[in-house]
Amino acid sequence: MRQLVLDTETTGLNARTGDRIIEIGCVELVNRRLTGNNLHFYVNPGRDSDPGALAVHGLTTEFLSDKPKFADIAHELRDFVAGAELIIHNAPFDVGFMDVEFALLGMPCVKDVCGGVIDTLVNAKQMFPGKRNSLDALCDRFGISNAHRTLHGALLDSELLAEVYLAMTRGQESLVIDMLGEMPTSGPGHAPRIALDDLQLPVLLASEEELSAHFAALDDLDKAVKGTSVWRIETVIDAQISAAR
């Protein structure tokens, strides 16, 4: 599965009143692995940034004056995001700006080009209700260093969000077996009983690709805990037990 972690910087907060995109960054994930195939543009918006926005991103009109217009990068951007699932923090903001920019050129909106959008801000609010869920707050919560982030930048923020997204989605939330269906209870307060002896459960061995993905996930866990994860330890113990038999 191809995913793109995307972020933009803009001249202000409202695309409908003339604010424009000045920077866009995309970081590619394939099967939850960073590929290094990223996309990054500075864009000349043809106008000054609002003072508040300038204080956030630091991209001056002078710096952007020799950069390409959005029209010059629009087709490359569209082709890069085509079919991919987009991962964005506060997605309506970035998607809204891109939709306005594409509309000015008579091009399709984002949802008609990409393969869907995940809003990590919505996900974070569900995971951590009542807490701060800015990108900086999530980096701190998941132990992701953002010490080098003094100003907002689209590519840097996309790289940080990629790490946050992988940390947020690393755990498996539930294991559910639906094949058993619902069993009637024998009375109030009695849990349903299942005749396990009658079940014929197939044994499916992991493929080489699945094993590779499994060990890649363990590597990510080791990195997150800055040591050896419990799953890696359990694997070693199981191997030792099997060897002793």
Q: Rounded to whole angstroms, what are the CA distances from 185 to 6, 76, 176, 181?
A: 50, 60, 20, 13
In this prediction, residue 239 has a pLDDT band, given cuts at 50, 70 and 90, of low
How is residue 101 annotated by DSSP?
A: H
Count, residues in the chain: 245
Q: What is the pLDDT of residues 25-66, one digit of tens each?
A: 999 999 999 999 999 999 999 999 999 999 999 999 999 999
Q: What is the pLDDT of residues 156-212, one digit of tens each?
A: 999 999 999 999 998 633 333 333 344 444 454 455 555 556 666 677 788 888 888
Distance, in Å, from the CA atom of 169 to the CA atom of 3, rounded to the nearest integer, reads: 13
Convert 10-37 to b/e letters by CB count within 10 Å (16 or more is b): bbbeebeeebbbbbbbbbbbeebeeeee
pLDDT of residue 196: 56
Domains of the chain (ranges; CATH) run 2-168 (3.30.420.10), 205-244 (no CATH)
Inter-residue contact 168 to 127 (CB < 8 Å): yes
Q: In the predicted model, is pLDDT for residue 238 greater than 90?
A: no
Average pLDDT over residues 205-222: 83
Instruction: Please tell me the pTM assigned to this model.
Output: 0.69
Positions annotated as catalytic residues are: 152
Average pLDDT over residues 93-108: 97
pLDDT of residue 147: 78
What one-letter code names the amino acid at 86?
L
How is residue 153 annotated by DSSP?
A: -
Average pLDDT over residues 8-37: 96
